[in-house]
Structure 1
Amino acid sequence: MPISPDVTTQLAPGVLDTLQHQVAVFARRAEQTRLGGVGRVHNTMDRAAYLLLNRLDQEGPMGVKALAAGMGIDSSTVTRQVAPLVDTGLVKRTSHPEDGRAVVLQLSPRGQARLEEVRASRRELMALCTDGWSEDERDIFCSLLTRFNSALSEIHTALPPGASAS
């Protein structure tokens, strides 16, 4: 979904250049640290595992297709990413309560404890990164980052499979 030329000409190129550069720097730094938090659990859970465990925690047990759809990724990707989580006991495969033939994925008690440990570490990192910010500044940043991520998601969803936004 290319952006029409009128949209980009109406916006200040300097701001857009700065924004795209800062987003690239953020992505690199986030990947370098995996926003893993601080202390003992620093850098100990990759992004995919965190997002999968978090989704299961927030939405409860679900099948691979539902999990993939909710995350905006392919079912085969979810299957591949869930396998080590099942192997390490963080996620359980159980029978669907209404259809015993279907399998649902569920956060295990061990997975719940591990997720809470990582969340606490990441909260500490966020507190360190925003030390000196006012509560309003944190709220505004969260609101704008959420809005930015939603816009990226909408653009990604509107693209045909295999296409890029450039």
Structure 2
Amino acid sequence: MGENSLDMIEFELTLLHRRLTSISTDKTIGNLDQSAYLLLQRIAYHGSTGVKALSDEFRLDISTVSRQAAALEQKGYVSRIPDPLDGRAYSLHITDQGIEELMESKNARQARIEELLKSWSDEERSLFGQLMKKFNRTFTS
């Protein structure tokens, strides 16, 4: 990779991070913060899962995910399902209220993205999505 492209990518990622951070605190795009949104999204689309699996997937400490999960449980967005083989372990299951909150946030986020990309062609949107997906998958390698 050329130094110019590496410079451009590094700067644009830094700028993107800053802008996403400012958007994630904007309450007009839903009531879920980024961590809550990611956890609920993961549980909703892949099924009940444990804190350890979530911490591995998002590369976070178990204590961090446990705190985030406790906050989601307190709000009624997830419930704990005890592990029948290990009385100390449990899986997190998204509740109807959690699904409702997730969908509200997802729709608001998608509306914001749609507004930002309104001048882009379908081909540009598709390519951008494919490249973002490819980039994000490199972290799991």
* TM, length-normalised to structure 1: 0.77
Aligned to 1:147: 134
Aligned to 1:13: 3
Distance 1:76 1:150 in 2: 25
Counterpart selection for 2:92 from 92, 105, 109: 105
- Alignment deviations for residues 29-79 of structure 1 (CA, whole Å, 9 cap, x no partner): 00011186xxx7425211110100001001111221122223332221210
Aligned to 1:33: 23
Task: Please identify the structure whose Cα radius of gyration is greater.
Answer: 1
Q: Which has the higher helix share?
A: 2
The yes-or-no answer on 1:127 pairing with 2:114 is yes
Aligned to 2:13: 23
Distance 2:50 2:138 in 1: 27
Is the Cα–Cα contact under 8 Å of residues 28 and 108 in structure 2 kept in the other structure? yes
Distance 2:34 2:66 in 1: 15
Structure 1's unaligned 5+ residue stretches are 1-10, 155-166
- Deviation larger for 21-30 or 42-51: 42-51
Distance 1:24 1:153 in 2: 20
Percent of residue pairs identical = 30
TM-superposed CA distance for 1:153, in Å, is: 4.0
Number of positions where the alignment pairs a residue of Structure 1 with one of Structure 2: 140
Distance 2:82 2:2 in 1: 54
Is the Cα–Cα contact under 8 Å of residues 33 and 43 in structure 1 kept in the other structure? no
Is the Cα–Cα contact under 8 Å of residues 35 and 43 in structure 1 kept in the other structure? no
Structure 2's unaligned 5+ residue stretches are none
Distance 2:3 2:91 in 1: 48
